[in-house]
A and B are shown apart, each in its own frame.
Chain A
Amino acid sequence: MSELSIEAPAEDPPLDPPAKPLYAIQRPWLVGLLAAATWGFYLVFYMYVYARDLKRLGQQTRPWLWIFSPLVAIAMPFAGSNLADKYTAVGRQLGVEATIRGGHYGSIVFVVLAINRVVERFALEVSGLVTLITMPVLGISIARFTAELNTVKRALPEDWFNRAAYSITPGTWIWLVVAFALLAPLWGFVIVDEVRHLSRESLKRGQTWTAAEKTFSVTPRDAWSIAEIGTFSDGTTEAEFSYTDSVYIMVFDESLNNNLKGIGDVRRNEFLSTDDSGECNERRWIEPDKLQRYAELVCTGSVLGSTVTVISTVISSEKRAIEAWGEAYVGPGEDDTSHNLRRFIEDIELLEPEA
């Protein structure tokens, strides 16, 4: 908790009223909720507003620069510390001795955002779960930071603000709409999917899953969840497995016209129809021991500035085809993650029907 002092240092000059009203004092829990619900994007607005108020209170700041601190996460410890120092200085002008741990909370925000980036980069399959843990941490940190800043803001005359303390401003309303009307479905999907993942029957690493009629089995190298038929397909598959929502396996019967060539052509046409500047390459080989045929189609293109790599691997015997489908979005400047996708599917084994 912050510590308060009721005597201002004698050497600090008194504050002049701001030229424009300050942003209303906010409820810490509401700020925390907005930051967590928007995956931290609310901080862009938050940092700008708090920097703008500092400028109106006579501090030397360039508010638009503060917008970038949440986007470049490493800047958050410094931005938080700087923000805290300037509000502490304002507090001293008001005669309020406040302890605001900006560097502390900025560092927590940085760690949270960094963990999310790293997980998305190297462990995509658990990114949803990690987000469910890190975003509340981020929200709590920002709420605590706001509470400490409020010790200063509460010492300011009420008529300096554009709204009464703790009232919901139009800006907050906008963010509430963004957070709950637009992002709620996404959050809901992540939460439901993670819960479903946890509740699904799991196929452990190296474990063989055999169809009830014993016509085929699947032995993946990594752990997969057994998904309900129709989760990733139109419902015509014999079995489906998921690793994440963008990496999954579908098992087709040859009679569904999903043979080796058919699947490859369909996937290629799907991809190129959405990105005609994309590139697809396919190679086929056989596994010598069982003479199973493999086909791997790798399509790479661009979606909203990110590189997207799609891999469709089809393993086919004379009577059955398994498609392992993977899709990876790769941010600007990041490496291709197709290697990880390949790794998911390279050890799948398809058994022939028993005599």
Chain B
Amino acid sequence: MKIPVVVSAIVVSSCLSVPAQANGKLNWEIGRHADLATEALGYLSAGRLPESETVVRLLDRRRITIDGDKVAERVELVYYYPSTDSVQDNGVDTVYWDTSGEHLTMLESAVISPTGDHHAFDPSTAELIDADSYKVFTDTTSVVMQLPHLQPGSLSVLSYQRELLEPDNYHFNVWVQDSLVTELKEVIVTWTDTAPAWHLAESDMQCSTSPRQLTCRAEQVPAADLDVDVLYADVLPQLNVSAPKSWDDIIGDMWELIEPAMEAGPNLQAAIEDVSAVDQPLHAAHALASKDIRYVSFSKGEHSHRPHAVERTLANRYGDCKDKSTLLLSLLRATGTQAYPVLVATERADASALVVPSRGYFDHMIVCAIVDGTERCFDPTDAYTPVTETSYGIQGRVRLNLVPGAAPTTVGSDLYLWRFKIKSNLQFQADGSQVEHAERVYEGALAGLYRDTLGGRNAKDLQEWLGDQYRETVSSDTEPKFAVDMLNNIDVPLKLESETTFDPFVDPDTALDYTDTTFWLRKFMSDQRIGNEHYPVSFPGIQAEAVYRFDLNGLWRPWSTGAEVDFESEFGKFERTYQVDGQAIVVTTKIALPRREVGVEEFERFNRYVSLIYDEMDMRFWGTLIN
């Protein structure tokens, strides 16, 4: 199952953060910590190498030290490359570095050849690559190291240490299982004063505690199953170690960061006056925070979780999710709306997995408000989703309302995330050609995605993009003309109109035996099969309607129509009806597949149902010659 084509434009957008501005430091001390290399040599000399074709992690040891104001994690890794393929596919070491939250010290990176020769990595060849996800407030850089002298039978060793810049809110999320086979996984947590809070999800790992130490160990950990559509944080076991806090502590800490940023000044006062002056202050506030303030990833240094002052955000006319949310929060509260900030974990949908309270799970901030007695949530980093809708990127994700007494829940989800209607009037011409006037109306998140894709294009560019999409979807040999309505008014559905002439393709002198296709529905349904094998999928819900009116234009008399269809199952409903309206045949097709969790055991049935619907996209009718 995939999201529509237009979505990809957003997903692949890059972050604007610049690693050079980081607070954390990167130190290279390679060559001065030979103990791990010595340990790795032991695998070679003892002949303790596993039978495998793929790379194996022989050792994954993490030592977490909590020593008063100093919290650090030392990571030691040893890999074995048994084959040429494993060298080709895995000959790169990558360390993910939160540049605003930690100092990173590289202790060892080297390759040990099958004969025991030691080849140290040259730090001057390291690459630093921005690894942020879009619109979240982490600030991650990849340190990429191409391993030298790697050949089948080699080992590689990697050791590094992270030292947290904000030790009060430490949070370590150790994955027990990942994409590689691991022979030995060890986590050793030591502390001098207050014991950390910790939780181990059900897994092969075993933990034991002793005074001031927690030791967890797992052997022969198999590689995790990988899938197409999965939030791994929800399904793979993890060991979480966090500063001992309650959710209320975390909420209080966040308010200490947010409240000063909300301090009113002349810019905010002016904005409040502007927003209050219109009929719909909520719409105006949302438009200001989401559209007028452009998004810039700005989570540097102390601002990893602390928003910039609203005054500064308004002056700069840019901000990140925290800045935009704090601005929207200020405006809503100033105009009398009960609003509150909300932390969101964009990579998690299972709130029950957050056993140990920590803000470390969360990477995004939004605002929720009570409007007409109902909670509505707004993501002001999304400039294209209407104020009446919830952005698709946060639907169903784990959240923490920054309200005293709150605990993690999930953001509400639409019953149907993807909603659209197609209306096509096709008239046969005397020469056998056809003229089509079509309307496509996209609502909610789908309208937002189209607006994001189409916004900012000039008229020629817009025609070209829509023309290419039409030719790819409907007919390659056409030159449709488009009119786009309400492209910039995000609070109403987006309407795309088109006029198309199809070259003659039916013989007006013979009886009509006609087949056409609901192309837009078919294209959408072609992406809805579930590709997962191992993990459940959250199907987002589709509600679509296509009404095709075929005007026979006095050339034929309607004679017979195709099959009426009613496919109803536990996954939803698909309907097709025909109606003869004088000289015209009206074909109505409806799809309503609501949002639901699809379990692994249901994949075959779900995909079968999708295929059944996909196979019914053709419309049929027959006509007799009038003369």
Contact = CB atoms under 8 A, between A and B. Distances in A.
Physical interaction between A and B: yes
Most buried by A among B559, B563, B566, B609: B563
7 nearest CB pairs, A to B: A282-B563, A283-B564, A284-B563, A284-B565, A286-B567, A291-B608, A285-B566
Contact of A318 (B565, B570, B608, B616): B608
Contacts of A28: none
The interface centre, meaning the residue of A260, A286, A288, A297 with most chain B CB atoms within 10 A of its CB, is A286
Interface string A279-315: 1111111101001010101000000000000000000
B605 interface: yes
B624 A276 contact: yes
Interface string A248-290: 0000000000001100110010001000100111111110100
Given A261-B618, A276-B624, A291 B609 contact: yes
Nearest to B567: A286
Contacts of A276: 624
A286 B563 contact: no
Given A281-B564, A291-B605, 11 more contacts: A261-B618, A265-B620, A272-B559, A282-B562, A283-B564, A283-B566, A284-B565, A285-B567, A286-B612, A288-B569, A318-B611
B560 A285 contact: no
Interface of A: 260-261, 264-265, 268, 272, 276, 279-286, 288, 291, 293, 295, 297, 318
A293 B612 contact: yes
Given A276-B624, A285-B565, A286-B569, A291 B618 contact: no
B573 to A, nearest CB: 11
A290 B334 CA distance: 57
Contacts of A264: 563
A347 to B, nearest CB: 19
A281 B564 CA distance: 8
A284 B616 contact: yes
B401 to A, nearest CB: 40
A128 B564 CA distance: 37
Contacts of A318: 608, 611
B127 interface: no
Nearest to B560: A280
Contacts of B620: 265
B568 A288 contact: yes
A285 B559 CA distance: 23
Given A291-B605, A291-B609, A283 B563 contact: yes
A291 B562 CA distance: 21
A297 B565 CA distance: 12
A6 to B, nearest CB: 75
Residue picked from A283, A284, A288, most chain B C-beta under 10 Å: A284
Contacts of A297: 563
A268 B616 CA distance: 18
Contacts of B611: 318
A152 B283 CA distance: 110
B569 A283 contact: no
A276 B608 CA distance: 37
A279 B560 contact: yes
Given A268-B560, A272-B560, A291-B605, A284 B566 contact: yes
A335 B559 CA distance: 24
9 contacts: A261-B618, A276-B624, A283-B564, A283-B566, A284-B563, A286-B567, A288-B569, A291-B569, A297-B563
B612 A291 contact: yes
A278 to B, nearest CB: 9
A294 to B, nearest CB: 10
Contacts of B563: 264, 282-284, 295, 297
Interface string B15-36: 0000000000000000000000
Nearest to B563: A282
Contacts of A288: 568-570
A98 B560 CA distance: 66
A136 B295 CA distance: 96
Interface string B589-627: 000000000000000010011011001101010101000
Nearest to A293: B612
A264 B618 CA distance: 14
Nearest to A276: B624
A288 B615 CA distance: 17
Contacts of B565: 283-285
A260 B608 CA distance: 15
A268 B560 CA distance: 9
Contacts of A293: 567, 612
